[in-house]
Amino acid sequence: MNAAARQRTARLARVLHLASILSGFTALAHAEEAAPAPPEEAAPAPRRASKVMAGGLWALTQLVPSPLLVIGREHVGGGARWQLTPLSYSFGVSARPLRAFFISPIARHSGSVELHASPEWACCAPNQRSSWLIRAGLRLYLPLLEHGERLSWSLGGSYYRALGRNGAAADLGIYTFNGILGLNVSVSPWLSRRELITALTIRYF
């Protein structure tokens, strides 16, 4: 073999050696890319209040009364009103439209119909002692701004019993601050000395 042939053979051997080295690096890079990433540690689940704590919070909020301005013939007085909602159907939310007692503000004020019971105390008409009244009725809530979170209104009717008498009443309300605060006006034409009642409603659930 002459010198020229030996040189060509040596160059070819060096090229093949370099190619084998590059091939090894390429295979290593592909293996690293294909290797599964180490599993990330699962984030701890957020702690949720127990049912007992949630029930206690709900009960405390139900004890907060709505102050009343009671206006009747030859009488202006004050009072307090509470409200329970045994049943509510919300057509403004898709999750759990039918609810009982614990009613979130968005479910109520985005659009709903509710059955309510409202004990009420009024003071103090002339020649009468303080008196209690119980109402039961239906109320429709409809949103006005931002699905009712900023502004909503209601229209309702109720049946009441007070001082041994029964009767019907109608009410109209408007609410803001996610439904927490509102103004509700009840008209009871046949309820002596309590024909018109304006309530500053304070409700969380």
Q: What is the pLDDT of residue 20?
A: 59
What is the distance between the alpha carbons of residues 150 and 139, in angstroms, rounded to a whole number?
19
Residues 6+ positions from 40 with CB-CB distance below 8 Å: none
**Closest-CA residue to 197 (of 12, 40, 66):** 66
Compute and round to an integer the Cα radius of gyration of the chain. Answer: 36
Q: What is the pLDDT of residue 138?
A: 97
Report residue 70 CA to chain centroid gap.
Answer: 31
Q: Are 91 and 121 in contact (CB under 8 A)?
A: no
Residues 6+ positions from 205 with CB-CB distance below 8 Å: 58, 61, 62, 102, 103, 104, 105
pTM: 0.73
Q: Block means of pLDDT (10 residues each) for the chain, length 205 residues?
A: 61 57 48 50 59 81 90 86 95 92 92 96 67 93 94 96 86 95 94 88 87
> Which two three-digit tokens encode residue 33?
């890319």
